[in-house]
Chains A and B, each alone.
Chain A
């Protein structure tokens, strides 16, 4: 389905309105069921024993005392999760991450698990498991791990992406390179050059709801899993493969979700819960503690990035170069690759080169986090761009406008752009009242741009019309940000009925065809395409039923504003039939009326944003207060503008926390020092101003309404926007995120 240009000027009836969310009452009254709210009769409580060591060989695990402890019904180790991955290295890494096999690779790595009659018994039993470790040298810093003499984490890792293949193993799992032109020649021509190295520390997605599930494996070989996830179909596939189950015999039901941001796109404890249930023969509930969430799930990469950009006197960027080192935890990843692709994506560049290196460290396996890898690259590049604009003597916004990518520009990662919104977001920022507001003492203003790809993917949707004319929409993309409301609006728009007549639900894995997970800003993009398709299929049936009722050819029936309309001179006197009237007669015109759709929603449009940030730094304490913040972003078409604004604000809030306070702190022993929200400080309401938003709508030509994904791009610019603001306030270029008070004081005193 391609974009119908007439929609650009079309007046939508439902799309673009702001009805209240269908899940709102349940959430504010506490009725909504999150992962930990599900219980089963006879369920056991599962708990996981985790390595206290950053890197150690597991010599022996003795579970005999725990197994004999009263109330314990099952104990599992890696022996209960045999390797069924058949040479699939990425699945093997998932398996090993869920339960360590030969080595503990980070502080918090699971080594055994217990199911008992209650949490206290399970906790006591964990203490009875005797694990014999042989400690190995560890490395947790990305630059130290990159060094040739670093402790080796995985002796089977040989750097890919280089020719010839290295003759010895290292902690660098992959090298990626992107770009075009002659960077060295361009740099030699430049009148001005900025070259700096930037660092960002590891952060967690910081979702409020911890990972939780209830697993029930029956003796007949069927199984159920109730779980908090961003993708229950993907969880089914992974769990089925790791447990040796047939996918169709494992039904996975997703709960409401208290935040995911990419961290709930990976299985962690779910295969362990299923293994415990299989062994105990009873349901097992497993809820992670906050300490476990920090130590064993999430985090994003820590990075170290070299950037060099050259410009001519007229402000044209002549060459851009970046080398990006991203930590990926103790398993091979592809995080630097994404950073290398996104780093210069906002700009029109004749000569550009980015090289990314994946670096293994003894930290938890890196997971996706909202536009994964892009914020760190943007921090480095947008900081250098700001500095270069000053050197050239141009305003930061004008410099970016002069060099912004546009339709027809060859992107730094390769392809040529179609219609894109970076230029319009910059023009909107240039003219925004925020940019003209005055600043006081110790205050600074910064701005920055950001890019994200957005994805579509496999999607399946059912639209069922009840005999009373109401519509039930079953979708398979988990609602993490309000997609049930947005998809109900889309169904109402297509059918020509009121939003209140549509109820969207998230179907379980046994009720609908496969759906990719809700990631890549794809939930509303892809499921709205499937919903439009399903609604149009349902309309075909509605027209056929009306034709039956009128006894006229279906070709003479059209669908207009929720009604079947008879066309032609001979039928013109027939009164229109409403959807409700056709549905009421469905029992005698052929039975239930439904529309179904299964699609691959490729063609997601890329997305750009530009942010403005005002801050004030206390020169005595180094503390930074965000005074004002504005997000301008292209949404393609905002289906439910309130939710779009919420995505913009949420991404900005998370980015501000990343910029100013959030970081994993490891001790010399390789253990995480701040595994809790008291010591790992995410922003709270009192830390933030009201975040202003401006939605731009540059239609995506590959979506029937022009929709683009909006969920991720908003976290890309904040690190750089805040850093530019702080740098402008203190007069020192900030190169290390987070800009916590000690780092700002150190910069001031340097």
Chain B
């Protein structure tokens, strides 16, 4: 079980929850379970979400494991210039 923090717009789509607990071993499973639990998140997930694990931002490594006790933060998937 990991605790995940959602940023503002994502929390609004997750029935107002800014923190949720999810049983997930990696980023792929986390997205799947969040989407099942909060269907309102799906459009935002389709737009792109990054995951910060202990401060390091992952955008595409969905196989990345979520260590127990890690700080996990969902962020918008950003573009650069």
Q: List 17 A-B contacts (CB under 8 A).
A: A160-B43, A161-B8, A175-B8, A176-B9, A338-B78, A367-B81, A414-B5, A414-B52, A415-B71, A415-B73, A418-B55, A453-B78, A520-B79, A520-B80, A520-B81, A602-B59, A602-B64
Chain A residues near B44 (CB, 8 Å)?
A: 160
CB-contact partner of A372 in B59, B61, B71, B80, under 8 A: B80
Least CB distance, B49 to chain A, in whole angstroms: 12
Indicate whether A416 sits within 8 Å of B60 (C-beta atoms), given known contacts A160-B9, A163-B12, A337-B9: no
Verify B80–A371 contact, CB threshold 8 A: yes
Verify A521–B80 contact, CB threshold 8 A: yes
User: Is A285 close to B, CB under 8 A?
Assistant: no
Least CB distance, B63 to chain A, in whole angstroms: 9
User: Is A261 close to B, CB under 8 A?
Assistant: yes
User: Is A600 close to B, CB under 8 A?
Assistant: yes
User: Is B54 close to A, CB under 8 A?
Assistant: yes
Verify A602–B60 contact, CB threshold 8 A: yes
User: Is A210 close to B, CB under 8 A?
Assistant: no
A568 to B78, CA, bound (A): 52
The segment from A4-12, A98-106, A426-434, A454-462 found at the interface with B is A454-462
Chain B residues near A604 (CB, 8 Å)?
A: 57
Q: Mark B39-81, 1 if CB is under 8 A from A, else 0.
A: 0000110010000101111111100100000010101101111
A residues neighboring B (CB under 8 Å): 90, 160-163, 174-178, 205, 261-263, 265, 334, 337-338, 341, 355, 367-372, 411, 413-418, 452-458, 519-522, 600, 602-604, 702, 712
CB-contact partner of A415 in B12, B57, B60, under 8 A: B57
Verify B47–A177 contact, CB threshold 8 A: no
Chain B residues near A519 (CB, 8 Å)?
A: 79-81
Chain A residues near B75 (CB, 8 Å)?
A: 341, 413-415
CB-contact partner of B58 in A452, A522, A603, under 8 A: A603
Residue on B with the closest CB to A604? B57
Residue on B with the closest CB to A516? B60
Verify B80–A712 contact, CB threshold 8 A: yes
**Interface residues in B, total, Cβ within 8 A:** 28
CB-contact partner of A416 in B55, B58, B59, B79, under 8 A: B55
Given contacts A163-B12, A415-B75, A418-B56, 6 further A-B contacts (CB under 8 A): A370-B81, A413-B75, A415-B57, A519-B79, A600-B59, A712-B81
Verify B80–A178 contact, CB threshold 8 A: no
A32 to B75, CA, bound (A): 41
B residues neighboring A (CB under 8 Å): 5, 7-9, 12-13, 16, 43-44, 47, 52, 54-61, 64, 71, 73, 75-76, 78-81
Chain B residues near A175 (CB, 8 Å)?
A: 8-9
Verify A163–B80 contact, CB threshold 8 A: no
6 tightest A-B contacts by CB?
Answer: A262-B81, A520-B80, A177-B8, A161-B9, A368-B81, A415-B52
Verify B78–A455 contact, CB threshold 8 A: yes
Indicate whether A337 sits within 8 Å of B76 (C-beta atoms), given known contacts A416-B55, A455-B59, A600-B60: yes
A269 to B73, CA, bound (A): 38
Residue on B with the closest CB to A413? B75
Chain A residues near B57 (CB, 8 Å)?
A: 415, 453, 455, 602-604
Verify A262–B80 contact, CB threshold 8 A: yes
A560 to B14, CA, bound (A): 55
Residue on A with the closest CB to B58? A602
Verify B76–A334 contact, CB threshold 8 A: yes
Chain B residues near A456 (CB, 8 Å)?
A: 59
Chain B residues near A415 (CB, 8 Å)?
A: 52, 54-55, 57, 71, 73, 75
A609 to B43, CA, bound (A): 35
Chain B residues near A334 (CB, 8 Å)?
A: 47, 76, 78
Chain B residues near A265 (CB, 8 Å)?
A: 79, 81
CB-contact partner of B60 in A417, A458, A702, under 8 A: A458
Residue on B with the closest CB to A264? B81
A90 to B79, CA, bound (A): 14
Least CB distance, A689 to chain B, in whole angstroms: 25
CB-contact partner of B76 in A162, A176, A263, under 8 A: A176
Chain A residues near B52 (CB, 8 Å)?
A: 414-415
Indicate whether A414 sits within 8 Å of B7 (C-beta atoms), given known contacts A162-B12, A602-B56, A602-B58: yes
Chain B residues near A418 (CB, 8 Å)?
A: 54-56
Least CB distance, B41 to chain A, in whole angstroms: 12
Least CB distance, A299 to chain B, in whole angstroms: 12
Least CB distance, B53 to chain A, in whole angstroms: 8
Chain B residues near A205 (CB, 8 Å)?
A: 81
Verify A457–B71 contact, CB threshold 8 A: no
Indicate whether A90 sits within 8 Å of B47 (C-beta atoms), given known contacts A174-B9, A416-B71: yes
Verify A371–B81 contact, CB threshold 8 A: yes
A341 to B7, CA, bound (A): 10
Chain A residues near B80 (CB, 8 Å)?
A: 262, 368, 371-372, 452-455, 519-522, 712
A416 to B75, CA, bound (A): 13
Residue on A with the closest CB to B9? A161
A520 to B80, CA, bound (A): 4
CB-contact partner of B7 in A262, A367, A413, A454, under 8 A: A413
A129 to B77, CA, bound (A): 41
